[in-house]
Amino acid sequence: MTLLLLDFDGVVRRIGPDAPIEDAHGLPRGTLATVAFSLSGPALVGRMSDEEWRAAVRAHLAGLIGPTAAADAVTAWTRTGEVVPEALALVRAARTRATVALLSNATTKLDADLAALGLTDEFDAVVASFRLGAVKPDPECFTRTLDLLGHKARDTVFCDDNADNAAGARAVGIGGVHTPDTATLAAALRERGLVD
């Protein structure tokens, strides 16, 4: 393997649950994820900024809980999260044996989040869907990423906590591995000789 592609959220970064935010703002559980996801398409492919997307989420929520509570809920929901330290250790170890890149379905907020988390220099490359114009699990996302990074599918492994995204990678010949936790990530990298 010459290229290791890693998802960001759920693999290298974790963000706390939405339920406490929803409870505090009078929203039914699951509302934030449902509304955010339903409006995220343009932001994830670069046709809308992160700020515009969050404004759209805020406007939608305002119809449910009023503008002030909606603004407060979106502010609380707009969090950076935290690095998964065990995953970062694996990234550092794998970089001694292969190119390691993030491949994230992300908005224009990604670069600021990486900087805030101290991750700017931890990857050889960062490929974000908002720049690529395609999202996982679309095969086009993976083929564009390989072209951009100059690697072949057969020499690449991709790890994601979303099984559909891992399957999308396999559809183009990349070794897509579902890694729902750090233990499965470590095992996948060990099996491929990317870490000891």
Query: What are the pLDDT digits (tens) for 71-95?
Result: 999 999 999 999 999 999 999 999 9
Query: Do 89 and 143 fall into the same domain?
Result: yes
Say what the pLDDT of residue 184 is. 98
Q: Looking at residue 145, which CATH number applies to its domain? A: 3.40.50.1000
Q: Is the peptide bond before 137 cis (omega within 30 degrees of 0)?
A: yes
- What is the rounded distance in angstroms from the CA atom of residue 73 to the CA atom of residue 189? 38
Residue 147: domain span: 3-14+81-191
pTM to 2 decimal places: 0.95
The verdict on residue 170 lying in a domain is: yes
Q: Which residues have a Cβ under 8 Å from the Cβ of 37 and sit 6 or more positions away? A: none
The pLDDT of 5-12, averaged and rounded, is 98
Tens digit of pLDDT for each residue in 13-46? 999 999 999 999 999 999 999 999 999 999 999 9
Name the domain count of the chain: 2
Query: Do 131 and 172 fall into the same domain?
Result: yes
The verdict on residue 196 lying in a domain is: no
Tens digit of pLDDT for each residue in 54-64? 999 999 999 99
In 3D, which of 9, 5, 13, 10 has the Cα closest to residue 192? Answer: 5
Name the amino acid, one letter, at 81: G
Query: Do 86 and 179 fall into the same domain?
Result: yes
Query: Do 67 and 110 fall into the same domain?
Result: no
